[in-house]
Amino acid sequence: ATRSYEYIQVSEPRPGVGQVTLNRPKALNALSTPLITELNTALRTFQSSPSISAIVLTGSERAFAAGADIKEMAPLTFSQAYTTSFIESWSDLTTALKKPLIAAVSGHALGGGCELALMADILYCTRTANFGQPEIKLGTIPGAGGSQRLTRAVGKAKAMELVLTGKSFSGEEAEKWGVAARVFEGYGELMEGALGTAETIAGYSRVAVQAAKEVVNRSQELGLRDGVEYERRVFHGLFGSRDQKIGMEAFAGKKKAEWSHE
Ligand code: HXC
């Protein structure tokens, strides 16, 4: 990952852990199309790298991302948005990435920034993080899944109020409402927590980790009966992996598992 980027930074801060830092500070990490293109490239590079098992996505202490780039969107016509499938490439994040993605959110996560954070597999934030879907104030609506993912996360009552008023909510509320898995006091603790969790995940079998992410995500699409059946099929499938044997034999032999990732 020695590629050079203009709007993001890429690093490998821990064994098995890739990090993408949104780095467009003058625009509070506004998510322009070139930035999203770089993000997709970086995530695909991590996806295909055998040395990376989990990924942390963060911004700065002041802003995770203050939204899609309003200056880029302002002059866009319907036909331009429609024929270029504007925003559709953001979904690469959820379709192309099979490795777990942890969003570490500090400061503003507004509009598309909130939606980007909601696409992550695990969301951690600071107590004072500032989430919201303020699109209504701009004469538009969420366009990167906010109305769907936020509603699944917090329920219709709160989501409707948030999307219709554009009011923001804090990191503390995000944790209380189940949007964030954990909340941290400051940016340092947040990054320590996110990288620590990524490192923990990176210590497991990549085959099992990919399967675990896949089945939890399927719960968002399927009814309970189909979801449970899908889970069982994948669970059965893992009896065909070497790592299932390695993991269970290590337990029986009171040894640490040395994963083959096969
Ligand atoms: C482009 C942005 C931006 C954005 C901030 N900036 N947000 N540029 N797109 N989304 C720029 C400002 O224009 C300014 O540039 C610089 O970043 C610093 O911002 P300030 O406003 O001066 O900072 P501050 O006073 O601290 O206020 C922070 C803020 C405010 C509350 C986050 O910037 C703000 O309200 N931003 C817009 C938030 C928003 O509406 N997001 C939703 C966008 S719509 P200059 O050049 O003046 O210094 C959206 C659609 C999603 O996301 C649907 C598809 C994904």
In this structure, the answer to whether residues 142 and 236 fall within a common structural domain is no
Same domain membership, residue 120 and residue 24: yes
For ligand 1, which residues put their CB under 6 angstroms from it? 27-28, 30, 66-71, 87, 108, 110-112, 115, 134-135, 138, 142-144
Segment (H or E) for 137: none
Residue 35 counted as domain residue: yes
Residue range(s) defining the domain that contains residue 232 = 206-252
**Among 16, 54, 120, 135, which one carries the catalytic annotation?**
135
Give yes or no: residues 47 and 156 share one domain. yes
**pLDDT at position 218, please?**
96
pLDDT (0 to 100) of residue 148: 97
> Based on the domain organization, do 32 and 130 belong to the same domain?
yes
Looking at residue 4, its pLDDT comes to: 87
Distance CA 182, CA 7 (A): 27
| 182-184 and 63-65 beta bridge pairing | unpaired
Q: Give the tens place of pLDDT for each residue, 10-45.
A: 999 999 999 999 999 999 999 999 999 999 999 999
Residue 114 Cα to ligand 1 midpoint, Å, equals: 13
- Read off the DSSP letter of residue 87: T
Residue 68 annotated in active site: yes
Cα-based angle 174, 178, 179 (whole degrees, multiple of 5): 55
Whether 155 and 67 share a structural domain: yes
Shared-domain flag, residues 242 and 147? no
In this predicted structure, what is the pLDDT of residue 2? Answer: 53
Which residue in 63, 66, 68, 211 is the catalytic one? 68
**Residue 261 covered by a domain:** no
Identify the pLDDT of residue 111.
Answer: 98
Clarify whether residues 61 and 186 are in a common domain: yes
In a domain, 178, yes or no: yes
Of all protein residues, the one whose alpha carbon is nearest to atom 53 of ligand 1 is 143
Whether residue 120 is found in the same domain as residue 235: no
Could you tell me if 193 and 213 lie in one domain? no
Residue 258 lies in a domain: no
Tokens of 15: 């064994």
> How many domains does the structure of the chain reveal?
2
Regarding whether 105 and 121 lie in a shared domain, the answer is yes
The DSSP 8-state label assigned to residue 68 in this structure reads B
Summary count for the chain: helices (H), strands (E) = 12, 10
Q: Do 193 and 246 reside in the same domain of the chain?
A: no
We report the CATH number of the domain holding residue 131 as 3.90.226.10
Q: Find the 45 Cα to ligand 1 centroid distance in Å.
A: 29
**Are residues 238 and 117 part of one domain?**
no
Q: Which positions of the chain have pLDDT values less than 70?
A: 1-3
Interface confidence, given as ipTM, is 0.98
Whether residue 184 is contained in a domain is answered as yes
